[in-house]
């Protein structure tokens, strides 16, 4: 290649480098924006799951309250309150003694 031919090609390469650099910058900015949206979507999903977990924890606490368990046992298992003399106490060598 002659010097003259090289001087004719150099402006084309400089424009090509400039355009490819700008194109690369645009692609990087688009990728940053896309990642931002992905993070935003994941944080919304995380907060929804956290709220669901809180609701389930409250429901579990409500269901395992002693009065709720007692009502369920009375309604479904025909459990009655203990009367005097029905309670057996174990003491010492596991002896059963009426009260």
* pLDDT tens-place string over residues 83-92: 777 766 665 6
Average pLDDT over residues 44-72: 92
Q: What is the pLDDT of residue 86?
A: 72
Average pLDDT over residues 24-52: 97
pLDDT above 90 as % of the chain: 52
**How open is the CA angle 75-96-82, to the nearest 5 degrees?**
25
Q: What pTM did the predictor assign?
A: 0.54
- What average pLDDT is seen over the chain? 86
User: Considering its fold, how many domains does the chain have in total?
Assistant: 1
Place of tokens 């999903």: 45
Full domain range(s) for residue 86:
3-98
Distance (Å, rounded) from C-alpha 11 to C-alpha 5?
A: 11
């Amino acid at each position: 290649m002659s010097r003259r031919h090289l001087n004719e090609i150099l402006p084309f390469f400089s424009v090509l480098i400039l355009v490819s650099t700008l194109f690369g910058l645009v692609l990087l900015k688009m990728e940053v924006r896309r990642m931002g949206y992905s993070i935003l979507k994941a944080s919304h999903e995380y907060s929804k799951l956290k709220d669901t977990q809180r609701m389930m924890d409250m429901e579990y606490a409500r269901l395992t309250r002693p009065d709720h368990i007692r009502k369920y046992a009375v309604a479904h298992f025909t459990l009655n309150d203990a009367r005097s003399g029905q309670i057996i106490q174990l003491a010492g060598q596991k002896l059963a003694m009426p009260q």
